[in-house]
Amino acid sequence: DAKTTQPTSMDCAEGRAANLPCNHSTISGNEYVYWYRQIHSQGPQYIIHGLKNNETNEMASLIITEDRKSSTLILPHATLRDTAVYYCIVRVAGGTSYGKLTFGQGTILTVHP
Amino acid sequence: EPEVTQTPSHQVTQMGQEVILRCVPISNHLYFYWYRQILGQKVEFLVSFYNNEISEKSEIFDDQFSVERPDGSNFTLKIRSTKLEDSAMYFCASTPLYQETQYFGPGTRLLVL
């Protein structure tokens, strides 16, 4: 699986959009971008994933650049409960990929009142 | 919404003792995983399990570790002779067939004294 690079930490004001970047310059054509988050030592929580098109669900939006070398997770209206570590994970889809997720250090997002 | 559950939430044991950590995956899921997170460190993959056998395991998952699906609902991780360095949060996760999103449980905090 391709390596990802994320900022160590970010701050965001409550009610504003939080934009979390991720670089994955060595991503392959069959690799998806996944985002998980971990709130204070709880189990990681799935947020969203995508291959090349932008994706949106009830939690967030995922914007993937055309060359697929980077992506941004957008929390449109951050709340205090969104304070967490956010992990960007690149992973091969299909075949034997029902396998491990490789977590990095992630980005610590702190949402301020 | 269905959730992965884990018991116990906390376990304290003496070095050298055997521990069994229990997980109940989401009912229609077929792929199961264990991860661990030592305090302050990354979430690390231990093992994946499908069709009653191990699909993949990490270097951490040595002969002291074993997994089992003893019945149709439980998935267990056994550590035969615990070491101090086994102290960590242990997370179980599961995935349904034809999907690749892993859903995590809340974790078991294991402390080895």
Q: What is the pLDDT of residues A17-35, one digit of tens each?
A: 999 999 999 998 888 999 9
The model's pLDDT over A4-18, given as tens digits with 9 standing for 90+, comes to 999 999 999 999 999
Q: With an 8 Å Cβ cutoff, is A101 touching chain B?
A: yes
Q: With an 8 Å Cβ cutoff, is A51 touching chain B?
A: no
Region B5-28: what's the mean pLDDT?
96
pLDDT of B2: 83
pLDDT of A94: 62
Peptide bond into B8 cis (omega under 30): yes
**pLDDT at position B63 over 90:** yes
Q: Which chain A residues touch B107 with a CB distance below 8 Å?
A: 41-43
Q: Which residue of B has its CA nearest to A33?
A: B101
Burial class (CB in 10 A: 0-12, 13-18, 19+), A95: exposed
**pLDDT at position A95 over 60:** no
Q: What pLDDT band is residue A98 in, cutting at 50, 70 and 90?
A: low
